[in-house]
Amino acid sequence: LFQPKTSHRLQELLEWLVEPMKEPGSPPAARVAALLACIHWARWQHSRSGDGGVELDRAILVSHLLRDGQGAPGPLRPLVRLGQRAMQSEPPDLLLLQDYAGLLVSLAERHGCEGALGEGLRRLTQVLEQLSEDDPKWPSVAANLCAAALVECEVTGTSPHIDRALDVTRKALGGFDLPSGDLARVLNQFGRLLVTRHFEHPRLADLDEAIEIQTRASELEGVPVTIVRRVLTDLGHAWYLRHLQSGRRDDLDRVINVLSAVVPDRGELGTEFQPIAEVLASALGDRGSIRDSVRDPQRAVALRRRLTVELGRSHDHLELARMQELLYERTGRSELLDESVHHYEKAKALAEADGISSSAALAGLAWSLHLRFERSGDVADRDGAIAAGRLSVASTPQGDGALGRRLAIFAAALTARATSTGSTPDLNDGLAVIERALALQDESDSDRAIQLFNKSALMGARYATGKDPEDIRRQITLCHEALDLLPDGHPKKGVYRANLVGAYLELHRSTDDTSALEFALTAGDLALSEIPADHPRRGGVLSNHAVALTRSAEEEYDEAKLRKAVRLSTEALGLLPEGPPPDARLLVNRGSALYLCGRPEDRVLALQDWRSAALSDAAPPDVRMAAATGWGRRSGELGRWDEAVRAYTLAVDLLTSVAGLHLEREDQEHQLTNWSHVTSDAAATALEAGDPEKALELLEAGRCVQWNHQLRNAGELALLADKRPDLAAKAERVTAALGVMWFGTRESEDWRS
């Protein structure tokens, strides 16, 4: 009886039996219908697949062919009897018909049976058409139709009845005479239906109306806690959607305030709170990205960790990694980047195991590796970012809305390698990637502006390798084109204008064009007026403008500009989170302005800034080198030769870090080109200090940096030979083989043995 062919034959028999004018002696239809209903009911009860609702629909449909409900499966008898009683009179009993429709919709909501849902919606519409709008029962039927339309959206993914349900419910809003709990539930259902329509046809008017209605529901008194929680959750969701569409920051504050009161601070979230925690974590992340706040990203990371532990999906690892990236930007804690890389890799592995696209995880992995490379200079991270970015772009369909951002990440990784190595192929590849992004048809003005700024960065990188001023002019033109695409008040406009300040400063450095310096100052003032005081990127804008002011004062002494530069640099330092050491770049910039101020106390403070930056282990090697050479040169000018020698000793020591062992040979050469004068300056300083032995020591330490990299392990080999002569011998053979590859020396021994 459970075989599909059996029920199919019984269905054919039943359809034949219920046709009129059957021959006398035909089998009774009721017995066939009862048997068929029981088969469908039993099959539904034992169903393991997603089509179980279809079997329940068939059981209900066949049961209605019975003359009384007694032959139906036991649990369906009340439903069948109620429907039959409602249809017995002419016209049908509307009260019974509404109850019958409600039972059908309830079944559909619990079990996903679309047939019962369709019948329930049809019967509710029938009742509504039989009632006049001034009938006291009309509002409750309208509310039931609204609830049924919501169920239809959840079960089928669409609702042809949504507009009708909204219209009649809107008319009924003033006519409800319900207890506060029931009224809150009805108002919230109406708001949810408006939000549902917004997903199908995005209109701010629907979100505005939903927020108004759900706010009204949240203000009712005497509402049970469970209903209050649901109303606040749905209201927070509506606010968040409006923020995403309109960019309203006050909506973000409302979302966070409301949902923070709903989501428990500790313990397991469970299925009840997991969706709410998702929205709250997203809102905290969004607010953290536009405000200089550590607390919001910290809370977002904590929530994402709880969700990842409980759900463990690829999506959860992906979102946790993104929040850790954001928290890293606020705190500078390197372990957060390590964790972010780990969770992106986990998200990628889970996505591939589930047979879904891993392109989002690859893009995130590329960005985290890129950030880690910028911090540590590890070429493995740099090359890993390029590889992940390339795969992400390759696995993203052409029409995917995320393609533009993924192209931008890939281009940023290529730019990083081009900047550090001077690689022309990487520059050309990066420009080709950006041109592809700019050719996308569906990019918004904001996204197109990002691509133009990325292209301008590549122009800056190309200038660094060839020193062609035309590349800087092209960079400036691209920055202006991008800024023209952003409306006034756009949160990124001030940040991007700060990049324009940097380009003008570089043009002034390369051409001595004084008008470029004036443009930089004007752009800096405007950028500071455009970026909010709590924006996380404001520190960078302050720093760039401070550099422009200092450069201008160098051209024509102006103490007011220098004092302003010191003040802006100090303000930028004050925006940094507590805990990590100060940003060494900001200290170098402030030191430059302080020294030019000329007073003895200012110059002492300048030396302190340069010394702090030079001694900062957390700073990149090239920044420490700039600080150390500035400290040494200015200390010498002030006749503080012992301090100058100390500074230059540090600078010579840093040469091995600037051109570290982790870099490829070409990268080492590129880095050392910028600091070729350091060793001779250091030796001259030691001679001025009356210490020729120190001068020789510095000359010896600073010469042949790359050659010394190859020989520095000789002492370690001697120590190794005392413990493991066999390993030391192998190491020597490998060194000899490397010598053959690098320098053409010849050794007769087989290094592979």
Condensed to tens digits (0 to 9), the pLDDT of residues 576-599 reads: 766 556 678 889 999 999 999 989
Q: How confident is the model at residue 706 (pLDDT cuts 50, 70, 90)?
A: very low
Residue 698 counted as domain residue: yes
Q: How confident is the model at residue 751 (pLDDT cuts 50, 70, 90)?
A: very low
> Mean per-residue pLDDT for 631-643?
92
Q: Is the dihedral angle over the CA atoms 470, 475, 480, 481 positive or is it negative?
A: positive
- The CATH number covering residue 661 comes to 1.25.40
Lowest-confidence pick of 137-146, 381-390, 573-582, 719-728: 573-582
- Regarding whether 732 and 667 lie in a shared domain, the answer is no
What pLDDT is stored for residue 747 in this prediction?
A: 35
Residue 51 counted as domain residue: no
Residue 743 has pLDDT above 60, yes or no: no
How crowded is the C-beta side of 201, counted as CA atoms within 13 Å? 9
The mean pLDDT value of the chain amounts to 82
Contact 364, 347 (CB under 8 A): yes
> Mean per-residue pLDDT for 295-300?
92
Query: What is the extent of the structural domain holding 641?
Result: 620-712
pLDDT, one tens digit per residue, over 481-505 is: 999 988 887 767 888 888 888 889 8
What pLDDT is stored for residue 330 in this prediction?
A: 78
Lowest-confidence pick of 88-102, 119-133, 576-590, 636-650: 576-590
Residue 152 counted as domain residue: no
The whole-angstrom separation of Cα 217 and Cα 183 is 7
Residue 483 counted as domain residue: no
Name which residue leads in pLDDT, 466 or 587: 587
> Mean per-residue pLDDT for 263-267?
86
- Regarding whether 668 and 750 lie in a shared domain, the answer is no
Residue 716 has pLDDT above 70, yes or no: no
Residue type, 572: A
> Mean per-residue pLDDT for 683-692?
91
Contact 624, 585 (CB under 8 A): no
253 CA to centre of own chain? 19
How crowded is the C-beta side of 733, counted as CA atoms within 13 Å? 12
Give 113-116's long-range contacts (Cβ < 8 A, gap of 24+).
Answer: 113/53, 113/54, 113/56, 113/57, 113/60, 114/53, 114/54, 114/57, 114/155, 114/156, 115/53, 115/54, 115/57, 115/58, 115/60, 115/61, 116/56, 116/57, 116/60
Contact 7, 59 (CB under 8 A): no
- Regarding whether 629 and 703 lie in a shared domain, the answer is yes
- Regarding whether 729 and 701 lie in a shared domain, the answer is no
How many structural domains comprise the chain? 2
Which range has highest mean pLDDT (65-74, 155-164, 546-555)?
546-555
Alpha carbon distance, N-terminus to C-terminus of the chain = 75
- Regarding whether 673 and 693 lie in a shared domain, the answer is yes
Residue 705 has pLDDT above 80, yes or no: no
What pLDDT is stored for residue 732 in this prediction?
A: 67
Return the C-alpha torsion angle 285, 287, 290, 291, nearest 10.
-110
Lowest-confidence pick of 338-352, 489-503, 604-618: 489-503
> Mean per-residue pLDDT for 323-344?
89
- Regarding whether 690 and 667 lie in a shared domain, the answer is yes
Residue 251 has pLDDT above 70, yes or no: yes
Residue 747 counted as domain residue: yes
Whose tokens are 């890993």? That residue is: 384
Name which residue leads in pLDDT, 29 or 240: 240
Residue 180 has pLDDT above 60, yes or no: yes
What pLDDT is stored for residue 51 in this prediction?
A: 56
- Regarding whether 704 and 625 lie in a shared domain, the answer is yes
pLDDT, one tens digit per residue, over 8-20 is: 676 666 666 555 5
- Regarding whether 677 and 659 lie in a shared domain, the answer is yes
- Regarding whether 740 and 657 lie in a shared domain, the answer is no
- Regarding whether 748 and 689 lie in a shared domain, the answer is no
What pLDDT is stored for residue 137 in this prediction?
A: 84
| 390 sits in which H/E element | helix 379-394
Residue 667 counted as domain residue: yes
Residue 735 counted as domain residue: yes
The whole-angstrom separation of Cα 200 and Cα 203 is 9
Residue 435: DSSP 8-state: H
- Regarding whether 703 and 628 lie in a shared domain, the answer is yes
Residue 20 counted as domain residue: no
Residue 560 has pLDDT above 90, yes or no: yes
- Regarding whether 719 and 638 lie in a shared domain, the answer is no
